[in-house]
Structure 1
Amino acid sequence: MFDTTLFQRKADVRGIYPNQINEELAWFTGKYLAATVNETTGSKGSKILVGRDGRLSSPNLYAALCAGINAGGGVALPCGLATTDMIQWGTGKRLHGAIAGAMVTASHNPPEYNGIKMVILNEKTGGLDIIRPCDGIAKNFAADSGDADAPATVGAAFPGSASMKLHEQFTAAACELAPGLSKDSGKIILDPGNGVGGVFIPLLRDALKKVGSKVEVGAVAEPIDGRFPTRPSNPGLPGAVKLLQEAVLAQGAKFGAAFDGDADRVFLVDEWGQFVPGSSLLAALADGEVKAALKRGVKQPVAIFSAVASWLVVETIRAAGGVPAASRVGQDALKVALINTGAVFGGESSAHYNFPASYCLDSGLFALMTFWQQLLDSGKSTSELIGSLNPWPASGEINVRIESNDWKSVSAGLIKMLQERYSKPEENSYVFTLDGVGVFHPRKPEFKTVDDIFTIDKKNDPTGATYRLIAPGYTPDWWFNVRASNNEPLVRLNVEAQSSADVTARTYQLISTVQQFCKEHGAVGVVQDWGNMRG
């Protein structure tokens, strides 16, 4: 048996193999996915693109998923090893008639985890919708009252021919975002971290040769290995990309790029080996995309960012001539915001970057190529381009583990307490509840309420629960956000201010507040990740 509660998750099916997620769960997920897609499209035999990452458990789960799709009335299009954004892009392109996509991956999680991400093409909006397990999958699971006979034939986990060429077409599409590479030279270093991003590195080398580029693409941790022996599959963890940093310095590269386990996220290292925070790359990409949109004649182009990203992103979008908008954290919310506002770009500080060209979902390679062209256009080095944006001092994301039998209640109580405390007049702050609790200091006479700063798009998001447009004219001296994880006993803290001293003092004060609240409610708050606060 498997952990049926995984069907109640909001973003994807994910858990530890084989206790929570196993071949049986993958088979049933495929069956109910096919039913969901058929119901949505109103047709039978919907084609579903299927890929997998390099985890040791992925081949078996992938085969079971394909079999379940075929048994459930769909048609699996098996792609084998692929990045998540390859599957998303192929679905958006309707490659070989695909209307939906499924990817076997646990993204940035440790090797013992695995999961299944699912999307469907929304032909009305042109974007991809995330298929949430808690919706269609859970509904079809609960309604399944068929007999227990095993289907006689469920199909193979291999394509009928070798002509799909998904990997090559995807890489070529990404390279089209950086036409200046045909005249570029020098060296870059890629770090897929032994993840499935290794599949496109040789293809990228070939693509650059075809256009006459003299760029040398080096790599560390290139072989795909589901044990992730070189570094964690999450390159955003402190110290995770040390090998990449050393290689960039030793080989004189222009920059290095590190991908997570399924390569839909990317972090940069500049030519000095300095790690580029996700918010800084987010601001740089937003700057370039807003300016490009203005040149195309787009009036007041919108760029989306997640609610915990740096205020630097707001200032950069404003300076570029765009309209900044904050969304709830998570690809489901950010994608909706991007489509509803007609935004030219969106992203999260966790290194998810969304483009209309990737059907409004995140792509690590598209982000890399977009930045590369921006770098060429600027004539600057990576450190000069990023540094010119004037990053704010920030704590980075700090995770505090709540050790309690009822951690959800403790987390909810903590957030409620912070909301009430900072709503008091003497705190002179705005309280923003789009995601967890955000506190912005100080108040200003021209903005009487928080809704005057974070305004509601009454036409497309009348409740303001998914995203908010940010009015011009307000910049805080400092702000922080505290939000609870949906699936882990963690609260996540982000603090930012215009001075480093203010960040340090307020971050430790906030950590102490969290730990004291936990103590008062029979729990223990243990700092698990210190963000930027400790080397």
Structure 2
Amino acid sequence: MRADPAIFKSYDIRGVYPTQINEDAVYCIARAFVHLFERSGKKPVEMKVIVGRDMRLSSPGLCLAFIDGLRSVGVSVFDAGLIAIDQMYFALGELGFTAGAMITASHNPKEYNGVKLYRGGVDMVSAEEIQELRIMSERDDGRTVDSAGTVEAVSFDDAYASKILAFADPSALKPFSVVLDAGNGMAGRVFPLVLRNLPRIKYTALYFEPDGSFPNHEPNPERLENTREIQKMVVKTKADFGAAFDGDADRITLIDDKGDALRGDVITGILAKHFLQKYGKGPIVYNVLCTRAVRDIIEKNGGTPVEWKTGHTHMKRKMREVGAIFGGELSGHLFFRDFYFAESSTLAFLLMCEIISKSGKKLSELAQELRTYAYWSRYIYLDDVPAAAIARVKETYQPRAARIDGIDGLTLHFQNPWWWFNIRPSNTETRISLTIESAHQVFTEEKKKEILALTGGRVAGDA
């Protein structure tokens, strides 16, 4: 089988198993991945590639197929087994691997799976290279080497935990009671590795057993229907706060002491303030969908706000380009300069414990500083094609805009009164995302109704 071309996305390779992606397709993708390195002069026999996987039911077979594809062209493979995504980043950043591959579909429903691909040093392959992989995998001639590459199991749990713990000051932590919802994903594997060293943090564990059938809820904490249980549990147990994670643990949603789920941009603002107070002035990168309050808090604390495209590949590269201290997205991806410019929900959790401890404030109080504007963001499902709906909105509002921004979708900024909105098409569905913010809730509601009428779409759940 040749892979469905639709699985080759901007950031990774992802689709429905087995109709869009299966073992044969992944085998060819692995071989194409090696060819990317051959073009730059790297011989397959010189390569050391680490391969890990999440807990999805199709992941063991896809992982084995990817390993077989690498070995078929002479590459030495190190099989890390079940790991979280920040464990992959640790291995690539510290252990000298040429490249890495993670079999995962992150926050997607159980029928999905995919591959995230990296160079050593935690540099993801680009969108252009992913399309090259599509072409090369389609043209695979099937030739193999006489001597297959080796495969060796590898584990680095203790070294990883030590790396994460080095960012925290255990003596500064107050006693905590928290609730953690791993969503039957990889957070359930890595959090015990770290928290067994921090006896002051007592936690109630929800769904820590990795289970790719996701029997309790989808592994997407950005959707409020997936955090209702942990929100109730935080209130019931009178916990200091809670944290929910996606499948490969690269996203985090925090639940404050009142049981309210915090958007990723609110968490971004809290952490940005922490890093600026720790390091002094410097760039902070955030995506265009974040509340204006993120820019405000960065400027107030002497930092340089850098607004950029949505997507972890875009964010990481922009952070490296400008030398950013920290970066964050509305989705709950949080990026740390001192952790290879990459995500770690484990690190984000520990830093929030430190911030709460040192500030003497509750998480709900810290979040209040980021709730200064009337913000609304949803997916809009359409009967029309996204381009047509966006064109109608653009034609109506662009002539009145004070500033037009095309960094990511279409963002229009207005003055007198101040407000802005962003509208972005989906690459795979007949839907758009719409984000609106103003100084007053009534005004935001008014603009929401106007723009929705122009799109002719139906509102999905809260973003």
TM over 0.5: yes
Find 2:412's aligned residue among 415, 439, 442.
Answer: 439
Q: CA deviation at 1:26?
A: 1.3
Name the CA distance, whole Å, in 1 between partners of 2:215 and 2:37: 37
SS in 2 for 1:412: helix
Checking the alignment, whether the CA contact within 8 Å between 1:220 and 1:243 is kept in structure 2 is no
Give the secondary-structure state (helix, strand or coil) at the position aligned to 1:395. strand
Contiguous gaps of at least 5 residues in structure 2: none
Measured after TM superposition, the shift of residue 496 of structure 1 is 1.1
CA distance in 2, matches of 1:439, 1:78: 47
Contact kept, 8 Å, 2:257 with 2:363, in 1: the verdict is yes
Give a deviation string over 1:5-38, Cα, whole Å, max 9, x none.
0464221111000010101111111111122234
- 1:4–1:428 distance in 2 versus 1, CA, 3 Å: closer
Equivalent AA in structure 2 for residue 134 of structure 1? I
Deviations 1:162-193 (A, max 9, x none): xx442332222222222145653131111110
Equivalent of 1:288 in 259, 265, 274: 274
Give how far 1:256 is off: 0.6
Relative to structure 1, is the Cα distance of residues 38 and 367 closer, same or farther in structure 2, using a 3 angstrom cutoff? farther
When the two chains are superposed, the root-mean-square deviation of aligned CA atoms in Å is: 2.2
The answer as to 2:257 corresponding to 1:271 is: yes
Q: Residues 74 and 147 of structure 2 are in contact (CA less than 8 Å); yes or no, is this contact kept in structure 1?
A: no
Match of 1:468 in 2: none
Partner of 2:195: 205
- Residue 163 (structure 2) aligns with: 173
Q: Deviations over 1:227-265 (max 9, x none)?
A: 111111101112211121122122222111101011001
How far does residue 413 in structure 1 lie from its aligned partner after superposition? 3.3
- Matched to 2:429, the amino acid is E
User: 1-side partners of 2:209 and 2:12: how far apart?
Assistant: 26
Is 2:215 aligned against 1:234?
no
1:67–1:157 Cα contact (<8 Å) kept: no
Partner amino acid, structure 2, of 1:76: V
Q: Give the fraction of aligned pairs with identical amino acids, expressed as a percent.
A: 28
After superposing the two structures, state which structure 1 stretch, 109-118 or 369-378, moved more.
369-378
Amino acid paired to 1:411: P
Query: Given that residues 352 and 362 in structure 1 are in contact (C-alpha distance below 8 angstroms), is that contact kept between their aligned partners in structure 2?
Result: yes
The 1:142/1:58 distance shift into structure 2, 3 A limit, reads closer
Q: Does 1:65 align with 2:66?
A: yes
The residue matched to 1:110 in structure 2 has which SS?
A: coil
Aligned to 2:363: 382
Query: In the aligned structure 2, how far is the partner of 1:480 from the partner of 1:334?
Result: 21
Q: Which amino acid aligns with 1:129?
A: M
Q: Distance in 2 between matches of 1:355 and 1:318?
A: 19
**SS state of the match for residue 239, structure 1?**
helix
Q: How does 1:28-427 map to 2 (within 5 A)?
A: 28-40=28-40, 42-44=42-44, 45-93=46-94, 95=95, 97-121=96-120, 128-132=123-127, 134-141=130-137, 144=140, 146=141, 148=142, 154=148, 159=153, 164-180=154-170, 183-208=173-198, 213-294=199-280, 300-396=281-377, 398-403=378-383, 410-424=385-399, 427=400
Q: CA deviation at 1:305?
A: 0.4
Q: Could you tell me which runs of 5 or more consecutive residues in structure 1 were left unpaired when the two chains were aligned.
A: 295-299, 405-409, 444-475, 516-524
Q: Does 2:462 align with 1:531?
A: yes
CA contact under 8 A between 1:66 and 1:155: conserved in structure 2? no
Q: Provide the secondary structure at the position in 2 that maps to 1:55.
A: coil
Q: How far apart, in 2, do the equivalents of 1:156 and 1:199 lie?
A: 27
The alpha-carbon deviation at position 54 of structure 1 amounts to 0.5
Query: Post-superposition shift, 1:402?
Result: 2.8
Q: 2:429 aligns with which of 473, 488, 498?
A: 488
Aligned to 1:501: 442
Q: Structure 2 length as normaliser, TM-score? A: 0.93
C-alpha displacement at 1:380, in angstroms? 0.9
Asked whether the 8 Å contact 1:188–1:254 carries over to 2, the reply is yes
Distance in 2 separating the partners of 1:376 and 1:353 = 20
Opposite residue 406 of structure 2, the aligned amino acid is T
Check conservation: 1:48, 1:99, Cα contact below 8 A: yes
CA contact (8 A) 2:172 2:357 kept: no
Q: Give the SS at the match of 1:324.
A: strand
Partner of 1:519: none
**Count of residue correspondences:** 461
TM-score, reference length from structure 1: 0.81
Spell out, residue by residue over 1:265-298, the C-alpha distance to the aligned partner (whole angstroms, 9 max, x if none). 101001121111111101111111122121xxxx
- 1:411 to partner: Cα distance: 1.9
1:46–1:155 CA distance, 2 compared to 1 (3 A) = closer
Question: Per-residue deviation at 1:201?
Answer: 2.5
Deviation of residue 149 (structure 1)?
6.1
Residues 1:245 and 1:497: Cα distance change in structure 2 (over 3 Å): same
Closer/same/farther in 2, CA of residues 489 and 254 from structure 1, 3 Å limit: same
Counterpart residue number, 1:9: 9
- d(CA) in 1 for partners of 2:37 and 2:90? 17
CA distance in 2 between counterparts of 1:6 and 1:46 reads 29
Alpha-carbon contact 2:76-2:151 (below 8 Å) kept: no
